């Protein structure tokens, strides 16, 4: 499954302008935050914690115009806590953003 990170790249480029260092920092901050929220989602065992983690991930995705991640987070909101397919979908989206073939972060 291929994911398009063009909207994310455009959003980061608009914020950073011609500053390559800032662009790299923004991308890293986005990915670190997404990975943190994914970790919280993976550790959630109740509906409340699962929903909070998925909503935070959805908010992050919306802020950066990362539609694929937003869609994956919305899907997670419809799933039971710990749903492996929802977690795997988010992992695949993040792997597409980082260019990683592995699903481990």
Q: Contact at 8 Å (CB) between 38 and 69?
A: no
pLDDT at residue 11 in the model: 74
1 assigned to some structural domain: no
Residue 79 lies in a domain: yes
What average pLDDT does the chain have?
85
Is residue 57 within 8 A of residue 89, CB to CB? The reply is no
pLDDT in tens, 37-48: 999 999 999 999
Q: Nearest-CA neighbor of 69 among 52, 46, 94, 86?
A: 94
Instruction: Note whether residue 104 is domain-resident.
Output: no
Report residue 74: phi and psi, to 5°.
-60, -40
Which sign, positive or negative, has the C-alpha torsion 48, 30, 9, 103?
Answer: negative
- Asked whether the beta carbons of 38 and 94 are under 8 A apart, the reply is yes
Number of structural domains the chain divides into:
1
pLDDT of residue 24: 81
Query: By residue range, what is the domain housing residue 52?
Result: 6-98
pLDDT at 5 over 50: yes
Q: What's the pLDDT tens digit per position in 39-97?
A: 999 999 999 999 999 999 999 999 888 999 999 999 999 999 999 999 999 999 999 88
Report the distance separating Cα 20 and Cα 55, nearest Å: 30
Q: Would you state the pLDDT for residue 55?
A: 97
């Amino acid at each position: 499954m291929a994911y398009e990170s063009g909207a994310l790249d455009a959003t980061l480029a608009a914020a950073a302008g011609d500053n390559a260092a800032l662009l790299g920092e923004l991308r890293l901050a986005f990915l670190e935050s997404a990975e943190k929220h994914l970790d919280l989602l993976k550790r959630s065992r109740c509906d409340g914690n699962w929903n909070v983690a998925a909503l935070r991930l959805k908010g992050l995705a919306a802020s950066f115009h990362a539609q694929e991640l937003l869609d994956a987070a919305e899907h997670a909101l419809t799933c039971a806590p710990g749903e492996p397919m929802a977690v795997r979908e988010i992992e695949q989206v993040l792997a597409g953003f980082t260019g990683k073939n592995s699903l481990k972060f």
